[in-house]
Amino acid sequence: MDSIKKIKLYFVGYFLVFPVLFITSSFLWRAIILKKEMMMVAIDALAITGIYYLIISLISILVYKKDIRSFMS
């Protein structure tokens, strides 16, 4: 697998699949099974997803920066 396909696969996994799975499972578990208030579940799930995006973006920048430097030399 070449590096471009690998980067696209990482992007899809980290930025699309994992957050959607987390939000879906959080809503199912907390809103339906535990009978929590829907607005509180939404606020909590989206806040955690936002923090996740910040952390994963920082990690991605560091990793891709390293890949770009090795690619350029």
User: DSSP assignment of the chain, as one string?
Assistant: --HHHHHHHHHHIIIIIHHHHHHHHHIIIIIIIS---HHHHHHHHHHHHHHHHHHHHHHHHHHHHHHHHHHH-
**pLDDT tens digits for 21-48?**
999 999 999 989 999 999 999 999 999 9
CB 44 within 8 A of CB 51: no
Say what the pTM is. 0.78
**70: confidence class by pLDDT, cuts 50, 70, 90:** low
